[in-house]
Amino acid sequence: MFSVSAKQRSLFELRHQSALSDYVTGIAWSPNGEGLAVCSAAGEILLYSMKTLESVVLQAATGYSIDGLAFSHDGQFLAAGGQSGEVNIWQFKPKPELIQTFKNKSAWIDQLQWSPTQNDLAFSLGKTVQIWNAESRERVTTLLFGDSSVSQIVWHPSGESISLGGYQGIKIWMTSNWDDDPYHLMVPSASVAVAWSPSGRYVASGNLDRTITVLEWGNPEPWMMRGFPGKIRDLAWSDQFASNAPLLASASVEGIVVWEKHEEEAIGWESRVLGTHEGVVQGLCFQPATMLLASASEDGSVILWWQATSMAQVLEGVSDGFSCLAWHPQGSYLVAGGEQGELLIWGKSSRGQGFKRR
């Protein structure tokens, strides 16, 4: 399928392979990287120990999909929500204990995220988002998006704000005063992918009308990127700078485009197209502290892109395509889920220690 030189085939090697009973819908790493939570369309949730690569069943299959899964910033709590309308929260001390269940029969919980600095959980309920504090076990506030159901929930890296995506753009609330009107980054259609750069300087909106909007926080004039073959399915920022800004990778249908900000403001962002997958790209993420980009596709491959420019390694191992992927917090492992429930974990290869770009 792909052509990669022999010298390039040793960055990562398969360390573990197992399977859930259905489509893998989510992957969540604990902040210290010692634990891995995985969920499926059947409703099961498994917890893996990275020391032993063994798993325990946190929740057996229920027949209702789990579509949101996340650890709190300190690793004390794990939250999960999905098709049943329930949000379940476990606390680890040291064994997981279910401490809270929210039941919302009329809502499908497909978005939930913890604050990166506080134990505040945000989860979607149609056109609103509830924010709940795990320490006090009380609701903090309810945010009304209003224009549509909420398609994305993303906290600012500093925790100072929260961004909700949906019809006609992104609305951003400051956590210092929930009652203030939100800032509204307008887009002509709907925002379906939202990503803050790691420094919190830029926010990007991937839109349903095949465009990307990028805003530098504090600058009222956003940039607009056009010409994609379909809606923007995913966005990923590097935590390393290429020149004067991080790289922004975007996925649309089978293609990946990487954006680099030019030093001259008038030029804006320049693009380069990476070689395409043969199926729809389902996930993008940069390895922490590097510019190694990983992409997962329905064609059954995960591709590693060296410096987000050229193909470095192709990882395979599923029959009907990959559904999601995520890097270990320190970049030691890469995990991907499959459409038939496969779970693959790759670790750094000792043969890849001397890898250099040709």
Q: How far is CA 152 from CA 34, 125, 162, 303, in A?
A: 27, 12, 10, 25
pLDDT at 351: 67
- Coil, strand, or helix at residue 351? helix
pLDDT at 319: 87
> In this structure, what token pair is assigned to residue 154?
């993303």
Residues with Cβ within 8 Å of 222's Cβ and at least 6 positions away in sequence, in order, are 185, 213, 214, 215, 216
- ∠ CA 156-257-8, nearest 5°, is 105
Residue 83's identity, in one-letter code, is Q
pLDDT at 353: 47
Residue entry with tokens 């770009």: 357
Residue 44's identity, in one-letter code, is E
Query: Would you say 174 and 180 are in contact if contact means Cβ atoms under 8 Å apart?
Result: yes
Could you tell me which of 113, 43, 52, 124 has the C-alpha nearest to residue 78? Answer: 113
- β-strand partners of 155: 162
pLDDT at 9: 57
Q: Average pLDDT of each block of 10 consecutive residues along the chain (358 residues)?
A: 50 96 97 97 97 95 97 97 96 90 89 98 96 96 94 98 97 97 96 97 97 94 94 97 91 96 87 91 97 97 96 93 97 97 94 43
> In this structure, what token pair is assigned to residue 348?
């750094």
Please tell me the distance from the alpha carbon of residue 85 to that of residue 83, in angstroms, as a whole number. 5
Residue 19's identity, in one-letter code, is A
Residues with Cβ within 8 Å of 336's Cβ and at least 6 positions away in sequence, in order, are 27, 283, 296, 302, 315, 318, 322, 324, 325, 343, 344
- Coil, strand, or helix at residue 350? helix
R_g of the chain computed on alpha carbons: 20
Strands, E assignment, 55-110: 55-59, 66-71, 77-82, 86-92, 96-103
**In 3-state terms, the chain is what percent helix, strand and coil (to 5)?**
0, 55, 45
The CB density around residue 64, as the number of other CB atoms within 10 Å, is 15
Please tell me the distance from the alpha carbon of residue 175 to that of residue 159, in angstroms, as a whole number. 8
Query: Would you say 257 and 281 are in contact if contact means Cβ atoms under 8 Å apart?
Result: no
Query: Would you say 145 and 129 are in contact if contact means Cβ atoms under 8 Å apart?
Result: yes
Strands, E assignment, 180-233: 183-196, 202-207, 212-216, 223-225
Q: Name the pTM for this structure.
A: 0.93
